Structure 1
Amino acid sequence: MIEAILFMLGIGAACGSVLSVASKVFYVYEDPRIAEVEGFLAGANCGGCGYAGCSAAAVAVVEGNAPPSVCIVAGAEAAANVAAVMGLDAGTAEPLKSYNECNGGNRAANKYYYTGLNTCKAVSALYGGRRECEIGCLGFGDCIRSCAFDAIHMGPEGYPVVDETKCVGCGACQRACPKNILTVKTMSQRLLHMNAEDDALAPCRQTCPAEIDIPKYIAQIRNGDYEGAVNTIRERNPLLLSCGRVCPHPCEDRCRRGIEDEPVSINQLKRFVADFEMNSGKRIPIPCAPDTGKRVAVIGGGPAGLSCAFFLRRLGHGVTIFESMPHLGGMIRYGIPEYRLPKKILDWEIEGILNLGIEARVNAKFGEDFDMGSLAFEGYDAVFMGVGAWVDYNLGVDGEKLNGCYTGIDFLSRLASGEKFSVPRKAAVIGGGNSAIDCVRNLIRLGTEEVWIVYRRTRAEMPANEVEIEAAEHEGVKFQFLAAPVRVVGDEDENATHLEYLKMELGEPDASGRRRPVPVEGSETLLEVDMVITAIGQRPDVSFKESSKRLDDLNITRWNTIDSDPETLQSSIPYIFTGGDSATGPSLVVEAIGGGRRAARSIHQYLTGEEIKPVPKSLFKKNIPGTIFDSVPGVVKTPRAKMTELPVKERITSFIEVDQVLTEEEAIAESNRCLSCCRICYNKDAA
């Protein structure tokens, strides 16, 4: 018995020795943080994070291959705890959410009937799917069956609807969808996306320079979700109050309802929800990504600069706006009259942008108060130039320097700054664009007895917005068409007394497609005036280029714009980007806003070390083939919402805003006129 016990002890000692040696030879260290991290995860082992269970996810976090927010179920508190274990700042990690851009569903015609397996994957294997729309939803619900969180259901129109409150961004629906209709993105990824040829885009959305999801926000208005509509617009346009007042709405030119009826009043609906937020007494929160530590200098506080700054800040970058004027706003402050865009409304809108944490330095002129050297010294990583088109063109005729002679933008900006003018008895404004119309309507309100528009072509060729021309006519402005000014006549005190012009007749079309005006010999005519304003166009001021050797390599075009790639807006100096009038020349406010976001995307790519390039299959100023129709069968005509205006007698004696906002009843009725278009689908039964 003793021998047996001793034998067993010997075997045990031998085994212990072997195990001791083996533990040294085959020892595998496990980082204790793995267990700590795993303890803070949900323990569901659902695989929604992309790893094979919580243990694998914990290992990925410790190895630096996954963020503290890896668990899609546990939530923000777990992410903060995991970050604490790793010695990191969890920040405000952006959640992934699933989005469906297709809203056609059952409205899309079938190109064949299918009687096989009721799955999207099976149907798509046959000629790309049964629907006529090549990218549209097939409607069999593979995505719904894939979702473990009951976050997707099939809507009444036959396309999936995502419940964002339940969606955890696991990506199962995206992987299940063979048509790439469902995409899982963060807020930043959505802000950075530009229109592409294979997107589900209605014609109005394709045409909008800011790329706003127009059908979506109109549907939200129809459903009474005004905050949702504001958020939808603001995802692409931070100046919705301003744009709702001054945008000439090119989107409405592509509205399918307008083919058979009057187009939907898209811009009035935008203004309705913008005013709803402003008048609600609270601001709708605007989320921003975690701080990146990168800093960008935005030169110019106009619509392009404000837009670029807004999107850069939302992407997590630090932004400082440098503005040469006393207040931000650029041309929408100093070029748009008070009766079209009241300054208090613009101030409210700009305040909301700055509240995101954007610094603004006013009365700071580039090339005088600061330059590229001082920006580099302050540590800015990139620069956006939105210097605007502030230099007016002159006529180049005798007498245009006489007392009482002004240029358009100079006159408008001085008036907007509060400068008092000696009110003329009779005035002539030369030009046919929006600036010329703004000048004459201002003069009417100042009390000028007789105000003329002098234009070298006919009314049909005037580039100003039709509604503005009509408003000027209603307010008593006189028009002298087919008239080319040749000199300004003055008295002995060098005060303007007359404008001399030649009568014209239209010849053959020129490069713009408009018939070229040809002078009629011997037709010189004098128009009695004591003020002449030349509003024939403007260009950017690029004199700043001479202020710094750092700008020697900055290329300028013959139109005095900053030479840049039209899609990425990167200049010839890699860290300098541009947008708005300084990139395109004088253009629409909404064009500048869209350019600001496009530049912000490129700057973000530059700051994060990515290749600066457009989105694949970029749609950029094109339309998707097959989506622009000649007819829209089935549409029943219904009247478009009319713009309510102040009576003429009331408005010409003050600078009170002329155009009024739709009532809620009118807005809902107008939203019901929308056909809810997608690429080729539309709702024939819209009211």
Structure 2
Amino acid sequence: MPRDLWWFRKNVPCLEACPVKTDAGRYVQLIAEGRFDEAYRVARTANPIASICGRACGAPCEDACRRGKIDAPIAIRSLKRFVSEQFGPEALVPAALDRVLTGTNDGSVTPFHANRLALRADRGRNAPPVAVVGAGPSGLACAHDLALMGYRVTVFEAMPSSGGMMRYGIPAYRLAREVIERQTAEIENMGVEFRFNTPLNKDFGVSELLQQGYGAVFLAVGASRGRSVPIENSEAEGVIKAIDYLLNINRGYRVAVGRKVVVIGGGLVAIDAARTAVREMISGLPISVSDEQAVEAGTLRVALDVAREAARRGALEVTVVSLESEIEMPAMKSEQGREEAGTATEEGVHFLPSWGPRRVITREGKATGIELVRCTRVFDDAGRFKPEFDDNQRRTLDADTVILAIGQAPDLSFLRTDEVALTAAGTLKIDPVTLATSVPGVFAGGDAAFPPSLLITVARHGKLAAQSIDAYLHSESLPKHELRVRIEELPTDSYAMPDRYEQRPRLVPIVPLERRSGITEVESVFSLEEAREQAGRCLYCHVHPIYNGSRCILCNRCVDICPEHCLHFAPASRIADQVPLEGVEKESGAASVFLYDEEKCIRCGLCAIRCPTAAITMERFNFEEVAG
């Protein structure tokens, strides 16, 4: 039976895909029902940075969404923002955090959820304090969860403000800085102390923190160093790394990029750099007085019209060059990435897939262009990165600036050689289960210990580190988890899906081009009606038609009425060799088997409504993962 329960949870794909196990489907369903405060509680109890993720999450839940196999996934991330704007720290009147985190959660939960952690508030009261190094998503999540368990936590941050690469790597038009401030203040109000402008170095490092009485240290320093590319003139003036470019822009510095920019890379960082360059180029473009007045009084569309006219004169161009073909580009492998690329194209960014950099063209040490070579293959038959090129196909692009967005690495120069061990790749060496490093009491996560990943994945590292630190300070092992289920039988006589739910399109509330300005967020927030309309597209994967064979009269009415043809009856003798059947004799010619394809099922409930003997019921499954 436990194996069957895990199977049921895996069939809620948005929940299973979320690294912190947010019950996204449930909060979407609650929004559809108009129960917005309950929806926010479901979203927030799982995720310490829910407001930030409502704007900048990579949304693996959307990539897994079963609605996407029919037409397009539900705009889950935008719906999270909708409820966060009403009840989160960025709201005009935020909901009381203690009520949010300790109230009844109508969704599935795990021991990592805030309402469960709050029940363990005495764990850290007599324990030594904990140091968290880095105020990015991983550090914030760790500090949040430890504070809920009663620990005294101090966060050491090298930069003057919190957020890590969320603040200094993600452009403001995607993530408003006020949201980061409000989310951080919420965690600070839980008793967490923040020390900004306090970087670790060889004189003040991990050893000193432990000597000062911190019982454990969590290293969440992120990946703030861009990678270079081994081609001719890669260190020339005018060649910059994307992460350095974004960091300087996000700290308020102007970075002159000229009028022609080439970005090398196929991920979201490349697109962020390209869209940022467009905005910077527009703001620095020499234009007429009348055009300047139009831009100042108008919006990004006016500015882009001016910029496009300049582009037609050969004065403005931003091109993203990637080794990968369009479908292979890392950005194109997620719903969020595809939408970002589409928005970038709308804003004037050009894409040039299946080309790789061969050399930077220079004049007197300054980049003036880049020579490209056709990439015929990126990965070998085993899926390993091993690009192949056709040297007979080359082309050049003029470029005042070449931006390299080919990956990031952590800056671990603060570590002494006798401190935490590193991997051959230059990341922190950890136990992947506990996140423990080679030094007792020191843990690490995020992009300093793993390959760069989504915000929500990095937040999960922080939450896992909090659990490991708690276990370490109590000389315990991490417990194994078991799954329990709460089953609710839904009344057949009133069960119904929202009207026209199968016809409703995916909608993301994008600000029209004519209303955008430089750093204004490109995405807006749903209206109440839009939110309920979008949430009403949910296929209710928590709900299953449950079949009771003892009541069935084999009338076949459920099969006849099913609009997706996902129900069938078959003789047991026909499928016994393919599917193990418990309690059914293989030779029994009279026995029939009820076959159900959960992938096709749209949970319309017509089978249960049509059944004359109530052999089929619609039942909702909510899951509780508990420490065994």
Contact 1:407 1:535 in 2 (8 A): yes
Deviation sequence 1:47-103 (CA, Å, 0-9, x none): xxxxxxxxxxxxxxxxxxxxxxxxxxxxxxxxxxxxxxxxxxxxxxxxxxxxxxxxx
**Aligned-pair RMSD on alpha carbons?**
2.8
Partner in structure 1 of residue 406 of structure 2: 536
The alpha-carbon distance between structure 1 residues 557 and 255, as it changes in their structure 2 partners (threshold 3 A), is: same
Partner in structure 1 of residue 34 of structure 2: 224
2:70 is aligned with 1:204: no
CA distance in 2, matches of 1:212, 1:395: 38
Partner in structure 2 of residue 452 of structure 1: 319
CA distance in 2, matches of 1:572, 1:373: 13
2:348 is aligned with 1:476: yes
Amino acid at match of 1:612: L
2:476 is aligned with 1:642: no
Contact 1:539 1:559 in 2 (8 A): no
Contact 2:86 2:94 in 1 (8 A): no
CA distance in 2, matches of 1:444, 1:508: 31
The alpha-carbon distance between structure 1 residues 614 and 365, as it changes in their structure 2 partners (threshold 3 A), is: farther
For 1:361-510, list aligned pairs within 5 A. Answer: 361-368=195-202, 370-447=204-281, 449-464=316-331, 465-492=337-364, 494-506=365-377, 509-510=380-381
For 1:622-661, list aligned pairs within 5 A. Answer: 637-651=502-516, 653-661=517-525
The alpha-carbon distance between structure 1 residues 468 and 313, as it changes in their structure 2 partners (threshold 3 A), is: same
Q: Give 3-state SS (helix, strand or coil) of 1:526's partner.
A: strand
Partner in structure 2 of residue 629 of structure 1: none
Deviation sequence 1:391-430 (CA, Å, 0-9, x none): 2110122222222211011111111011112241111111
2:357 is aligned with 1:523: no
CA distance in 2, matches of 1:319, 1:541: 23
Partner in structure 2 of residue 53 of structure 1: none
Per the TM alignment, residue 569 of structure 1 is displaced from its structure 2 partner at its CA by 1.7
CA distance in 2, matches of 1:479, 1:198: 42
The alpha-carbon distance between structure 1 residues 574 and 507, as it changes in their structure 2 partners (threshold 3 A), is: closer
Partner in structure 2 of residue 246 of structure 1: 56
Contact 1:200 1:678 in 2 (8 A): no
Amino acid at match of 2:125: T
Partner in structure 2 of residue 567 of structure 1: 433
CA distance in 1, matches of 2:80, 2:510: 17
The alpha-carbon distance between structure 1 residues 369 and 617, as it changes in their structure 2 partners (threshold 3 A), is: farther
Compute the TM-score of the two structures, normalised by the length of structure 1.
Answer: 0.65
Contact 1:200 1:679 in 2 (8 A): no
Contact 2:248 2:255 in 1 (8 A): no
Partner in structure 1 of residue 478 of structure 2: 612
| Identity over aligned pairs, percent | 35
Deviation sequence 1:433-488 (CA, Å, 0-9, x none): 11110000001111252111111221111101111111111111112222221221
Amino acid at match of 2:529: E
Contact 1:453 1:479 in 2 (8 A): yes
Amino acid at match of 2:541: C
Contact 1:488 1:499 in 2 (8 A): yes
The alpha-carbon distance between structure 1 residues 443 and 200, as it changes in their structure 2 partners (threshold 3 A), is: closer
Partner in structure 2 of residue 139 of structure 1: none
Per the TM alignment, residue 200 of structure 1 is displaced from its structure 2 partner at its CA by 8.4
Per the TM alignment, residue 546 of structure 1 is displaced from its structure 2 partner at its CA by 1.9
Q: How many residues align?
A: 476
Deviation sequence 1:293-330 (CA, Å, 0-9, x none): 33110011110000011011011111111111111101
- Unaligned runs of at least 5 residues, structure 1: 1-127, 136-195, 619-633
- Unaligned runs of at least 5 residues, structure 2: 102-117, 283-315, 332-336, 485-498, 546-600, 607-628
CA distance in 2, matches of 1:584, 1:613: 23
Partner in structure 1 of residue 604 of structure 2: 685
Contact 2:217 2:443 in 1 (8 A): yes
Contact 1:203 1:679 in 2 (8 A): no
Q: Give 3-state SS (helix, strand or coil) of 2:360's partner.
A: strand
The alpha-carbon distance between structure 1 residues 679 and 317, as it changes in their structure 2 partners (threshold 3 A), is: farther
The alpha-carbon distance between structure 1 residues 680 and 544, as it changes in their structure 2 partners (threshold 3 A), is: farther
More strand by share: 2
Contact 1:252 1:265 in 2 (8 A): yes
Deviation sequence 1:134-186 (CA, Å, 0-9, x none): 44xxxxxxxxxxxxxxxxxxxxxxxxxxxxxxxxxxxxxxxxxxxxxxxxxxx
CA distance in 2, matches of 1:230, 1:617: 24
Partner in structure 2 of residue 668 of structure 1: 532
Per the TM alignment, residue 534 of structure 1 is displaced from its structure 2 partner at its CA by 0.5
Amino acid at match of 1:609: S
Per the TM alignment, residue 390 of structure 1 is displaced from its structure 2 partner at its CA by 1.3
Contact 1:496 1:531 in 2 (8 A): yes
CA distance in 2, matches of 1:200, 1:500: 48
The alpha-carbon distance between structure 1 residues 642 and 299, as it changes in their structure 2 partners (threshold 3 A), is: same
Q: Give 3-state SS (helix, strand or coil) of 1:604's partner.
A: helix
Deviation sequence 1:566-587 (CA, Å, 0-9, x none): 2322223231112211222200
Which of the numbers 68, 81, 85 marks the counterpart of 1:258? 68
Q: More relative contact order in 1 or in 2 (CA 8 Å, sep 6+)? A: 2
CA distance in 1, matches of 2:212, 2:387: 53
Contact 2:29 2:535 in 1 (8 A): yes
CA distance in 1, matches of 2:454, 2:67: 24
Contact 1:398 1:486 in 2 (8 A): yes
CA distance in 2, matches of 1:686, 1:402: 65
Amino acid at match of 1:534: L
2:129 is aligned with 1:319: no
Contact 1:635 1:685 in 2 (8 A): no
For 1:220-369, list aligned pairs within 5 A. Answer: 220-277=30-87, 278-286=90-98, 288=118, 289-290=121-122, 292-294=125-127, 295-368=129-202
